[in-house]
């Protein structure tokens, strides 16, 4: 049930056809401005009825690839190319994005740990509340473009955690893989709103590279085409996608001691259990023997820490994925949809056997609740004869 208490207001009308841009105004009364507001940029490109998509980046402010790509999309995409509606929120946690930080300098808020938010909370909680209570209820899909940010760099990956929707059988498996994230992520918010969700981890390192941006930009258009929000041929995939899985804590390597981080492997390397991952050199007592961090299982290195200094506990130095060879047939139905993003890897996060019972493809835009103009697809996949037709405005 959508709440309507948000104090945020959009300058644009999400129901109007055409291309609009402006700000979502977040009231912010401070010493220098009693009646000021924080201007969160937003665009809406609508052309008749069809899929309703929310594109987000800047959920974490120091993840730049998605922010650049969505800004370029706002400038380049015209309403005539669209079927339905695409809302674009390129710097969702705008105060964090302006500071170039993962979290907001106003309240230390991590937007992706702030859902469902609070309409009377700090700025980050209010943004989360607006996304969950105002934007998501009027969308069928949300695509949230993350990257490694300042502290991590990834082999560019599409990251799909299973949404908790009425169509799925069982629990919200994404949270089983990373219980610490709990119900406070956008993934959880999308599940609560019964909105299809996909995320990414595209490179990172606090920078933008041409390669990463190419993957991001072509991937966004491929995904939009896949859900029939864009017409025409999608751009070619940037790479052949390997389907991998990340299934538990032993997929991550943490620094056993504080010190200076010397990585021993590169992104993309294949490792086995016990392979040394990093040497952690004692910074303040360099005559002591360094600590060795080792991989806990076999797999492919898909994520690596960037900064050279580490602390015990909060320094996740490597992450890895394993080939998803054992995916059962019912789960495989979703795999072509993941590959649509065209990244080199797609991580399926599962930790429990309940994950294997999921049968609904990501890009199915039919839902059992919240009626909309579409009819339910007999196959549960997009682009079939039974998919709802786009009704374009002229």
**Residue ranges in contact with Zn ion by CB under 5 A:** 60, 63, 146
Q: In the numeric block, which tokens belong to residue 364?
A: 């199915």
Burial of 5 (0-12, 13-18, 19+ CB in 10 A): exposed
For the chain, what is the radius of gyration of the CA atoms? 21
Burial code (b: 16+ CB inside 10 Å, e: under 16) for 194-215 equals bbbbbbbbbbbbbebeeebbeb
**In the complex, minimum distance from the CB of residue 147 to Zn ion, in angstroms, rounded to a whole number:** 7
Residue closer to Zn ion by CB (options 201, 364) is: 201
**In the complex, minimum distance from the CB of residue 60 to Zn ion, in angstroms, rounded to a whole number:** 4
Q: In the numeric block, which tokens belong to residue 121?
A: 């909370």
Instruction: Tell me the CA distances in angstroms from 243 to 75, 158, 208, 348, one per residue in order.
Output: 33, 10, 25, 7
Residue closer to Zn ion by CB (options 47, 150) is: 150
**In the complex, minimum distance from the CB of residue 155 to Zn ion, in angstroms, rounded to a whole number:** 16
- Residue 35 exposure: Cα atoms within 13 Å on the Cβ side: 0
Residue closer to Zn ion by CB (options 63, 129) is: 63
In sequence order, the 6+-apart residues with CB closer than 8 A to the CB of 8 are: 24, 25, 26, 27, 40, 126, 127, 130, 134
Residue closer to Zn ion by CB (options 58, 123) is: 58
Residue closer to Zn ion by CB (options 103, 360) is: 103
Residue closer to Zn ion by CB (options 152, 334) is: 152
- Do 174 and 161 form a contact (C-beta atoms < 8 A)? yes
**In the complex, minimum distance from the CB of residue 26 to Zn ion, in angstroms, rounded to a whole number:** 20
Residue closer to Zn ion by CB (options 82, 174) is: 174
**Cα–Cα distance measured from residue 4 to residue 367, given in angstroms and rounded to the nearest whole number:** 23
**In the complex, minimum distance from the CB of residue 253 to Zn ion, in angstroms, rounded to a whole number:** 19
Residue closer to Zn ion by CB (options 126, 187) is: 187
**Pairing relationship of beta strands 309-310 and 259-263 according to DSSP bridges:** antiparallel
Residue closer to Zn ion by CB (options 84, 148) is: 148
220-224 long-range Cβ contacts below 8 angstroms, 24+ apart: 220/55, 220/69, 220/70, 220/73, 220/143, 220/145, 222/340, 222/341, 222/342, 223/143, 223/198, 223/340, 223/341, 223/363, 224/53, 224/86
**Cα–Cα distance measured from residue 192 to residue 189, given in angstroms and rounded to the nearest whole number:** 5
- Do 29 and 65 form a contact (C-beta atoms < 8 A)? no
**In the complex, minimum distance from the CB of residue 159 to Zn ion, in angstroms, rounded to a whole number:** 10
**In the complex, minimum distance from the CB of residue 262 to Zn ion, in angstroms, rounded to a whole number:** 26
**In the complex, minimum distance from the CB of residue 179 to Zn ion, in angstroms, rounded to a whole number:** 18
Residue closer to Zn ion by CB (options 187, 381) is: 187
Alpha helices (H) in 193-247, listed in sequence order: 210-226
| Dihedral sign, Cα of residue 68, residue 126, residue 179, residue 254 | positive
**In the complex, minimum distance from the CB of residue 353 to Zn ion, in angstroms, rounded to a whole number:** 28
**In the complex, minimum distance from the CB of residue 367 to Zn ion, in angstroms, rounded to a whole number:** 26
């Amino acid at each position: 049930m959508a709440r309507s208490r948000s104090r945020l207001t959009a300058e644009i009308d999400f129901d109007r056809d055409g291309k609009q841009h402006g700000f979502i105004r977040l009231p912010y009364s401070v010493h220098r401005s009693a009646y000021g507001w924080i201007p969160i940029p937003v665009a809406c490109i609508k052309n008749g009825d069809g899929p309703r998509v929310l594109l987000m980046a800047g959920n974490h402010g120091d993840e730049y690839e998605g922010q650049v790509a969505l800004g370029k999309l706002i400038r380049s995409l015209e309403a005539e190319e669209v079927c339905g509606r695409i809302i674009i929120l390129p710097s969702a946690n705008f105060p964090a994005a302006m500071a170039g930080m993962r979290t907001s300098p106003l309240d230390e808020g991590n937007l992706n740990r702030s859902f469902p938010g609070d309409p009377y909370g700090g700025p980050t909680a209010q943004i989360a509340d607006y996304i969950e209570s105002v934007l998501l209820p009027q969308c069928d899909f949300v695509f949230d473009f993350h990257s490694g940010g300042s502290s991590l760099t990834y082999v560019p990956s599409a990251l799909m955690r299973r949404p908790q929707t009425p169509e799925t059988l069982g629990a919200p498996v994404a949270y089983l893989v990373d219980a610490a994230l709990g119900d406070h992520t956008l993934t959880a918010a999308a599940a609560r709103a019964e909105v299809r969700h996909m995320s990414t981890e595209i490179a990172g390192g606090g920078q933008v590279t041409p390669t990463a941006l190419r993957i991001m930009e072509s991937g966004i258009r491929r995904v939009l085409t896949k859900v029939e929000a864009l017409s025409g041929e999608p751009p070619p995939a940037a790479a052949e996608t390997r389907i991998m899985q990340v299934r538990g804590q032993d997929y991550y390597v943490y620094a056993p001691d504080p010190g200076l981080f010397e990585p021993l492997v590169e992104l993309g390397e294949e490792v086995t259990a016990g392979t040394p991952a990093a040497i952690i050199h004692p910074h303040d007592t360099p005559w002591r023997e360094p600590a060795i961090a080792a991989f806990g299982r076999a797999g492919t290195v898909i994520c690596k820490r960037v900064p050279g200094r580490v602390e015990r506990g909060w320094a996740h130095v490597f992450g890895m994925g394993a080939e998803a060879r054992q995916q059962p047939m019912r789960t495989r139905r979703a795999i072509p949809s993941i590959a649509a993003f065209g990244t080199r890897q797609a991580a399926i996060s599962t930790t429990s056997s309940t994950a294997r019972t999921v049968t609904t493809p990501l890009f199915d835009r039919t839902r059992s609740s919240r009626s909309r103009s579409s009819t339910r697809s007999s196959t549960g996949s997009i682009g079939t004869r039974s998919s709802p037709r786009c009704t374009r405005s002229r």
